[in-house]
Structure 1
């Protein structure tokens, strides 16, 4: 009866024999469809040397395509894409388990997590580091299903690029236009405040009026100096300071001084013609108008640049290798699975021998 108890070698042989039987005969055929594409900008920057594909496909180096490929590798295996693309194929039928192969296909009444995990095993997105080319491989249990899944995912990738770029461009353009509108409102408010100030002041240009007043005061002061000189000369000529000639000039000097004081009060006095305060307020209003005008120009330039940049940054998907319906099954999974089984047996055998060796020494 001892020969009925399987030893380690017999167990390993039976496992290996079962693996050969499954991967060689029992396992259902798998079919793979591969397509290659690259993500490019419609216009290459001036600093990029045109490639063999021409200036349109030269683009900004492969780094941008690699980054987009990493995004697509996550997006194309997301639950949203599964709901839109994978469910179109009716996986309960096209990927249903059949025959004696209990491992291939989607189990009946699978949960959402099981469906998502199964879907991700059927899709493989690999960005090529050296070229920037993105390779999309889909697996199906029949050729038509594998081809349709690949086409659906290519459409999803193109829609994702278009939608994401359009949303980003729309948000940037909306923000730039909103800033332009705010700048225009600020300019209109500043101009209205300046007009209201001029209406309150009752003058078109208070600065010109203040300048004219200052010029007039300077002329009066010059006239005052002349009269003072004339008064001194008359006092020396007439010994009596109350003589009519001296009194006449003295009266002119007194009146001229009073007039100068009145004109100066118009510039610095507390009455309605306080030009110092008016000029300070006018300078602030003019500064606000100038700043608002500069802000409008900058916002207009930013909006135009944003519009041009959004058009230049639009990306598109270039197919380098179109998917095609496979004419034969894919054998990769068979020999990879068999080699993996052999490797596991060797590792297990080595670990078992190591453990047994230690136990015998003890």
Structure 2
């Protein structure tokens, strides 16, 4: 008897008393400007499966959270004056938003009116809104669709700006490093009055090598004369011997000047110059790499920019949605059947005892 009363009351409410609900649906997909090369072809040009579909599903989940967030509710739902458009009335006290509802109650009610469902097979995102009148439901769907487009554009712009700013910062940092290295290298050359320390060291080394080669020739000539003259004090032998001694002294002085801090000190100059020159070359390569990375980042960012493609625009509904009535009524029957089954099972256990 009680179950019959519940079923009858449920039928009266869901098919008689309950206020009409109007659903508005729109569909869109998030795409990249360029389809990956590995994506196959179809009648529409490219298939929706693969990375594009997975990316759209992921973006759909993000949008499902964003479009039901408190920020969006403030900008969109409260703008539609829900206290009037979704207000309760005396005929159906259960449907709609109560007068004087708190912010949390409005947020919970708003989330019950918005459904963002990504389709696993195609990546299409369905946006459904529910209203107690056709126009508010349509306006809510249209505004949420616009909010989704603005969100995608803002995210893309923020990502692009962040990546580009980082790349340009790295280029500027590499350029400053190169300027600093070049200034240090030039100051070092000016201080030591050397245009190219490595070439100067190589020239000095070649000069000493030529003196040593000449010394070898003179020593051979000296030995030959000493064999010819038994008296080594003869003018011929003494002349060559003096040249050998002078050349040896000159070679010793040149070698001492190369490494003596009070002389040319070419070893230190070459070492420090080589270090500064290496730093300048590294800074130059770093600047080239940074410029290349910035160009690649700019191109990659342009290729990865996502945009929202509308597949079905919202329309003002002409007929009410009946699915909620059947779901409510059948849900009530299901609960009664479950309760009846549990009760029968419990009574059976009691009878056995």
Return the TM-score normalized by structure 2: 0.96
Partner of 2:122: 131
Partner of 1:342: 333
Gap runs ≥5 in structure 2: none
Partner of 2:266: 275
Partner of 2:91: 100
Gap runs ≥5 in structure 1: 1-9
Q: 2 CA distance for matches of 1:32 and 1:310?
A: 38
- Could you tell me which of 157, 163, 176 is aligned with 1:172? 163
Please state whether the residue corresponding to 1:61 is helix, strand or coil. helix
1:257-283 Cα distance to aligned partner (Å, 9 max, x none): 000011111222232411111111111
Partner of 1:238: 229
Q: 2 CA distance for matches of 1:59 and 1:325?
A: 34
Partner of 1:3: none
CA RMSD of superposed structures (Å): 1.6
* Structure 2 contact 138–314 (Cα < 8 Å) conserved: yes
Partner of 1:4: none
- What is the Cα deviation at residue 319 of structure 1? 1.1
Cα 1:278/1:44, change in 2 over 3 Å: same
Please state whether the residue corresponding to 2:127 is helix, strand or coil. strand
* Structure 2 contact 49–122 (Cα < 8 Å) conserved: no
Mapped pair 1:306 → 2:297: yes
* Structure 2 contact 175–287 (Cα < 8 Å) conserved: yes
Q: 1 CA distance for matches of 2:224 and 2:45?
A: 97
* Structure 2 contact 115–129 (Cα < 8 Å) conserved: yes
Cα 1:221/1:241, change in 2 over 3 Å: same
- What is the Cα deviation at residue 99 of structure 1? 2.4
- What is the Cα deviation at residue 244 of structure 1? 2.2
Partner of 2:54: 63
1:178-227 Cα distance to aligned partner (Å, 9 max, x none): 00000000001111111011101102112111111111111111111111
Q: 2 CA distance for matches of 1:272 and 1:288?
A: 26
Partner of 1:5: none
Please state whether the residue corresponding to 2:232 is helix, strand or coil. coil
Partner of 2:14: 23
Write out aligned runs for 1:252-331 (5 A).
252-331=243-322
Please state whether the residue corresponding to 1:273 is helix, strand or coil. coil
Mapped pair 1:145 → 2:117: no
Please state whether the residue corresponding to 2:194 is helix, strand or coil. coil
- Could you tell me which of 145, 150, 154 is aligned with 2:145? 154
* Structure 1 contact 44–56 (Cα < 8 Å) conserved: no
Q: 2 CA distance for matches of 1:56 and 1:294?
A: 42
Mapped pair 1:114 → 2:105: yes
Q: 2 CA distance for matches of 1:101 and 1:71?
A: 35
Q: 1 CA distance for matches of 2:302 and 2:223?
A: 84
Q: How many residues align?
A: 353
Report runs of 4+ in structure 1 exceeding 4 Å deviation: 55-60
1:291-339 Cα distance to aligned partner (Å, 9 max, x none): 1111111111111111122222222111111111010110000001111
Deviates more, 1:299-308 or 1:133-142: 299-308
* Structure 1 contact 44–59 (Cα < 8 Å) conserved: no
Partner of 1:6: none
Return the TM-score normalized by structure 1: 0.94
- What is the Cα deviation at residue 54 of structure 1? 3.6
